[in-house]
Amino acid sequence: MTPIRKLLHGMKPRATPFGTEKRLLRVLGCDGDRTLEFSESDAKTLAEARSLFERSMQAGASAFTGRAGQPLQRIERLEEAGPETLLVPRNVGG
């Protein structure tokens, strides 16, 4: 099992609407993974999460989230995020 599959497999999706509790944004990176906890009710952490998400997506990253009873889904907007969201950067060969 690849490291990304292990990480995706370890995510525990829960059924909660956006904004009702703390959320996790996990960003994979070559210099280590970064985890950002945010909540819709906290403007500062929400702005930081939104900025990080949008910058990553503009750079070609893919975002995945989990929901209870469903397989992980690819998302395009932070508002679609579940309790845990994983940002996977685009691989650039060379």
Q: 38 exposed, middle or buried (CB, 10 Å; 0-12, 13-18, 19+)?
A: buried
Per DSSP bridges, beta strands 84-88 and 62-65 are antiparallel
- This prediction has a pTM of 0.72
- 19 vs 91, more confident: 91
Residue-wise pLDDT for 31-86, tens only, equals 888 999 999 899 999 999 999 999 999 999 999 998 777 788 999 999 998 888 99
pLDDT of 16: 47
pLDDT of 20: 55
**What is the dotted CATH code of the domain comprising 3-14+23-88?**
3.10.20
